[in-house]
């Protein structure tokens, strides 16, 4: 775990998104691209585990992330993720990339 960064000019992110202040962070939401990416990785792990193996929370790292697959394949993928430890309660939408001709 890294100590919280207070430098607003952090150059580690190359995105054009405005910086997100910790004070406006909503609990239970995936805010950043990094969090989304980690959450997706967890979901893939969950899928690869036959959707029965518990995975860890992308936010707080607690085991037992609750994942629900609400996908409408092949058009899109929807996953609901919940964590009882940190209050994460969000959904992730993945537009299907497999329909390209």
Which residues lie near Zn ion (CB under 5 A)?
A: 57, 59-60, 62, 83, 85-86, 88
| CB closer to Zn ion, 62 vs 75 | 62
Q: What is the Cα–Cα distance from 78 to 91, expressed in whole angstroms? A: 7
Q: CB of residue 65 vs Zn ion: minimum separation in angstroms?
A: 7
Q: CB of residue 72 vs Zn ion: minimum separation in angstroms?
A: 26
| CB closer to Zn ion, 62 vs 94 | 62
Q: What is the Cα–Cα distance from 76 to 95, expressed in whole angstroms? A: 5
Q: CB of residue 16 vs Zn ion: minimum separation in angstroms?
A: 28
């Amino acid at each position: 775990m890294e100590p919280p960064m207070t430098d607003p000019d952090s150059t580690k992110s190359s995105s054009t998104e405005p910086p997100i202040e910790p004070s406006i962070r909503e609990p239970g939401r995936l805010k950043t691209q990094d969090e989304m990416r980690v959450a997706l990785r967890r979901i893939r792990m969950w899928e690869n585990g036959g959707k029965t193996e518990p995975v860890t929370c992308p936010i707080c790292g607690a085991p037992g992330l609750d994942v629900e697959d609400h996908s409408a394949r092949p058009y899109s993928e929807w996953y609901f993720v919940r964590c009882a430890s940190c209050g994460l309660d969000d959904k992730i939408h993945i537009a299907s990339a497999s329909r390209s001709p």
